[in-house]
Amino acid sequence: MTAQDKIKDTVTANEVVLFMKGTKSMPQCGFSSRVAGVLNFMGVEYADVNVLADDEIRQGIKDYSDWPTIPQLYVKGEFVGGCDIITEMTLSGELDTLFAENGVAFDKDAAEKIREANG
């Protein structure tokens, strides 16, 4: 199975996937930590893929999405974005809408608290 096959299987088998440096409980870069922190705080259930554990996946995810940086968030098999995009979507409420439209459970009050703290 190629890295592309593994990635495709992962993003299609899980509602929400975060390809990141480290894990959701122990991120190993600030950008990954920020996105994982948002998802964790909002109570989103997601699969985390540590790209540092597999060089083929680390490069493969960049090729798969045609996006040069990590972390990368996928919802229902679709690439959403990296840290800056997820941060903007969280603060604008777009991430709430995306989750709601895709039937992904999240804590709306927690999302509001993020916006209040950063408003």
Q: What is the DSSP string of the chain?
A: --HHHHHHHHHHHSSEEEEESB-SSSBSSHHHHHHHHHHHHTT---EEEEGGG-HHHHHHHHHHHT--SS-EEEETTEEEE-HHHHHHHHHHTHHHHHHHHTT----HHHHHHHHHHT-
Between CA 88 and CA 60 the distance in angstroms is 25
Q: Can you say which residues are annotated as belonging to the binding site for [2Fe-2S] cluster?
A: 29
Burial of 9 (0-12, 13-18, 19+ CB in 10 A): exposed
Q: Which domain covers residue 8, as residue numbers?
A: 3-117
Query: Which tokens is 103 given?
Result: 């039937």
pLDDT of residue 119: 79
Number of domains in the chain: 1
Between CA 52 and CA 109 the distance in angstroms is 33
Between CA 54 and CA 7 the distance in angstroms is 12
Which CATH number do you get for residue 37?
A: 3.40.30.10
Q: What is the mean pLDDT of each run of 10 residues along the chain (119 residues)?
A: 95 98 97 98 98 96 96 98 98 98 97 94
Q: Can you say which residues are annotated as belonging to the binding site?
A: 29
